[in-house]
Homo-oligomer: A and B are copies of this chain.
Amino acid sequence: MACQACYPKGCLQLTPLLQQLIQSLRCLPGIGPKSAQRIAFQLLARNRDGAKMLATSLVQAMDNIGYCHSCRTFSETELCTYCSSTRRDKSIMCIVESPADQYAIEQTGYNGMYFILHGRLSPLDGIGPADIGMDLLRQRLHAEETVREIIVATNPTLEGEATAHYIAQIAKHRQISCSRIAHGVPLGGELESIDIGTLTHAFAGRGVIQDS
């Protein structure tokens, strides 16, 4: 506790468990010291049952959610529901950086297969092909001969582009068509407020206007 000692320098008389809770809450992305303190006080005052329910959910999720052996997304079973489904188009595979990206793409109505990198190639950070599952991807493309097209949906960053090129090489080697999702002006975006990089991409990726 030691708060009499360091008073009035700011370490106040919070109970040890409260200090520990505030510290632990900071593992949540986007939660700083001030928010953590507010959350801790509010949970104690108003929602102790909810907090204990959250604790249970956290433990269950962290202990039981693993990775699909085929596409590497989060899964509680060896094969995820995407990979074990019989209703999805097995000739097309979308490659994304994270399960969150997969979730976003799923909302567009895409109904093919997936492969999750859990990262991107980044030699400076020591992240090589093995770290983003390239061995498993090669193995999978070799074992299943159903895939006819790979759509690379990595983020439009330098690393994302490098990863896309690396995957394109693998696809070329196996004679599988490989495409990249379009990057350009978002719907509802106004040209004057778009950054130059996006606008350059939009120019380079321009398409012919079809006769209607």
Contact = CB atoms under 8 A, between A and B. Distances in A.
A107 B10 contact: yes
- Chain A contact residues: over half helix, strand or loop, or mixed? helix
11 contacts: A8-B107, A12-B103, A12-B106, A13-B82, A15-B74, A18-B61, A21-B61, A24-B58, A25-B57, A41-B74, A55-B55
B20 A61 contact: yes
A37 interface: yes
Contact of A54 (B24, B45, B87): B24
A51 B60 CA distance: 11
A3 to B, nearest CB: 7
A60 B17 CA distance: 7
Interface string A1-38: 10110001010111111101101110111100001011
Closest 6 CB pairs of A and B: A27-B50, A24-B57, A55-B55, A55-B58, A21-B61, A24-B54
Copies in the complex: 2
A107 B145 CA distance: 67
A41 B100 CA distance: 7
A118 interface: yes
Contacts of A17: 57, 60-61, 64-65, 76
A8, A21, A61, A100: residue with the most chain B Cβ atoms closer than 10 Å: A61
